[in-house]
Amino acid sequence: MSFEFCNLTLNNMLLAIDIGNTNISFAIFKGGKIIESWDIPLKEYRGIRTLETPIKDALICSVVPQITQRVSRDIEKATGVKPKIIEKDILIPLKNLYKKPEQLGTDRLLNAYAASQIYSAPAIIVSCGTAITIDAVSKNSEYLGGFIIPGLNSSLSALNLNTALLPKVKLAPATKNIGRNTQDCILNGVVLGSASAIDALIEAISFKTGTNTKIIGTGGDINLMKKFSKRAIRVNKNLLLNGIFLLYKGELLAETRDCRDNLLKKT
What is the dihedral sign for C-alpha 48, 78, 75, 251? negative
Q: What are phi and psi of 136, to 5 degrees?
A: -120, 140
Task: Determine which of 39-43, 51-55, 171-175, 255-259 has the lowest per-residue pLDDT on average.
Answer: 255-259
Distances (CA, A) of 231 to 199, 215, 263: 7, 8, 52
Could you report the per-residue pLDDT of 200-210, keeping only the tens digit for each? 999 999 988 98
Q: Cα(129)–Cα(151) distance, rounded to whole angstroms? A: 6
Average pLDDT (57-82) is 95
Q: Give alpha helix (H) positions in 210-238.
A: 222-228
Q: Cα(224)–Cα(174) distance, rounded to whole angstroms? A: 9
Q: Cα(152)–Cα(169) distance, rounded to whole angstroms? A: 11
Contacts of 161 (CB under 8 A, 6+ apart): none
Average pLDDT (104-114) is 97
Average pLDDT (21-41) is 93
Number of other CB atoms surrounding residue 121 within 10 Å? 21
| pLDDT number for residue 210 | 87
Q: Compute the CA torsion angle 73, 79, 80, 81 (nearest 10 deg).
A: -70
Cis bond before residue 150 (omega within 30° of 0): no
Closest CA to 156 of 218, 221, 201, 108: 221
Q: Is the pLDDT of residue 65 over 50?
A: yes
Q: Cα(265)–Cα(267) distance, rounded to whole angstroms? A: 6
pLDDT cut 70: percent of the chain above it: 90
Q: Is the pLDDT of residue 266 over 70?
A: no
Helix (H, G, I), strand (E, B) or coil at 255: helix
Q: What are phi and psi of 150, to 5 degrees?
A: -60, 145
Annotated catalytic residue within 18, 57, 107, 135: 107
Position 248: which residue type?
Y
For this structure, is 74 an active site residue? no
Whole-number mean pLDDT of the chain?
89
Distances (CA, A) of 141 to 75, 85, 95, 127, 241: 33, 23, 7, 19, 19
Rounded to two decimals, the pTM is: 0.88
Average pLDDT (240-247) is 96
Average pLDDT (177-193) is 91
Q: Is the pLDDT of residue 242 over 90?
A: yes
**Please, are residues 192 and 200 in contact by the beta-carbon 8 Å criterion?**
no
